[in-house]
Structure 1
Amino acid sequence: MSVLAVPAAVLAADAVPAKQLFGKQNLPSKQPTQSLGFYAKGCLAGGIAIPVDGPAWQVIHLSRNRRWGNPDMIALVERLARESRAEDGWNGLMIGDISQPRGGPMLSGHASHQIGLDADIWLTPMPSHTMSYDEREVVPEASVLRRDMMTVDSRKWSKAHERLIVRAASYPRVERVFMHPAIKKKMCDTLKGGDRALLSKMRPIYGHHYHFHIRMKCPAGSVNCEDQVDPGPDSGCGKQVTEWLNRVKPRPVAKPTKPTKIVKPKHLMMSALPNACALVLNAASVRSMAEAEFSGGSNPVQVPVTAYAAEDPVAKVIAASDDFSVFIPPMGSIPQPLVRPATQ
Structure 2
Amino acid sequence: MRSFLKSVTGFAAVVASVMAMAAVDAAPARAEELAKNLFGHEPLPAALPAKSYGFYSKGCFSGGVAIPTDGPTWQAMRLSRNRRWGHPTMIALVEKLSRDAAAKDGWPGLLIGDISQPRGGPMLTGHASHQIGLDADIWLTPMPARPLTVAEREKISSVSMIKKKGLTVDDKVWTPAHMRLLRRAASYPEVERILVHPGIKKKLCDTVTGDRTWLRKVRPFWGHDSHFHIRIGCQPGSPGCKKQAATTPGDGCDKSLAWWFTEEPWRPNKDPDAPKARDLMTMASLPKECRAVLAAPAPASELAATYRGPGSVTDTGTSIAAVIEQADTIDPEAGAPISANAFLPTDGVKIPLPQWRPDE
Distance apart, 1:74 and its partner CA: 0.2
Does the CA contact (< 8 Å) of 2:83 and 2:114 recur in 1? Answer: yes
Rate the CA distance shift 1:118–1:11 in 2: closer, same or farther, 3 A: farther
**Alignment match, 2:313:** 301
Alignment match, 1:211: 227
Aligned residue in 2 for 1:322: none
- Distance in 2 of aligned mates of 1:261 and 1:229: 28
Q: Is the 8 A contact 2:81 2:339 kept in 1?
A: no
The unaligned stretches of length 5 or more in structure 1 are 317-329
Q: Which has the higher helix share?
A: 2
Distance 1:279 1:33, change over 3 A: same
User: Percent of counterpart pairs with the same letter?
Assistant: 48
Shift in alpha-carbon separation, 1:17–1:129, aligned structure 2, 3 A = same
Q: CA deviation at 1:41?
A: 0.8
Residue aligning to 1:177: 194
Q: Indicate whether 1:81 and 2:98 are aligned.
A: yes
Name the structure 2 match of 1:270: 283
Structure 1 position 333 matched with structure 2 position 340: yes
* Residue of structure 2 equivalent to 1:120: 137
Among candidates 221, 225, 229, match of residue 241 of structure 2: 225
Structure 1 residue 341 displacement after superposition: 2.7
Paired position in structure 1 for 2:305: 292
Aligned pairs for 1:1-344 within 5 A:
1-2=16-17, 3-6=19-22, 8=25, 12-194=29-211, 196-247=212-263, 262-266=273-277, 267-296=280-309, 298-306=310-318, 311-313=322-324, 332-334=339-341, 339-341=356-358
3-state SS of the aligned residue for 1:154?
Answer: coil
| Cα distance between partner residues in 1 of 2:132 and 2:320 | 27
* Counterparts of 1:152 and 1:311, CA distance in 2: 39
**Letter of the 2:282 counterpart:** M
Query: Bigger shift: 37-46 or 242-251?
Result: 242-251
Structure 2 CA distance for aligned equivalents of residues 132 and 335 of structure 1: 16
1-structure distance, mates of 2:316, 2:164: 42
Q: 1:340 to 1:10 in 2, by over 3 A?
A: farther
Moved over 4 A (4+): 7-12, 247-251, 308-311, 335-338
Find the counterpart in structure 1 of residue 7 from structure 2: none
> Structure 2: which 5+ runs fail to align?
1-15, 328-336, 344-352
* Aligned 8 A contact 1:206 1:248 in 2: no
1:142 is displaced (CA, Å) by 1.2
How many pairs does the alignment contain?
A: 322
For residues 229 and 320 of structure 2, the distance between their equivalents in structure 1, rounded to whole angstroms, comes to 29
Amino acid in the other structure paired with 2:180 = R
> 1:52, 1:58 within 8 Å by CA — same for their partners in 2?
yes
Matched position secondary structure for 1:140:
coil
Instruction: Report the residue type matching 2:315 in the other structure.
Output: V
Question: 1:314 and 1:84 mapped to 2: Cα distance?
Answer: 34
AA matched with 2:303: A
User: Alpha-carbon deviation of 1:8?
Assistant: 4.2
Q: C-alpha displacement at 1:264, in angstroms?
A: 2.8
Q: Matched residue of 1:58: which SS?
A: strand
Q: Specify the SS of the correspondent of 2:30.
A: coil
- Aligned partner letter, 1:21: L
Letter aligned with residue 202 of structure 2: K
After alignment, is 180-189 or 227-236 more displaced?
227-236
Residues 149-174 of structure 1 show CA distances to partners (whole Å, capped at 9, x for unaligned) of 31101110000000000110111110
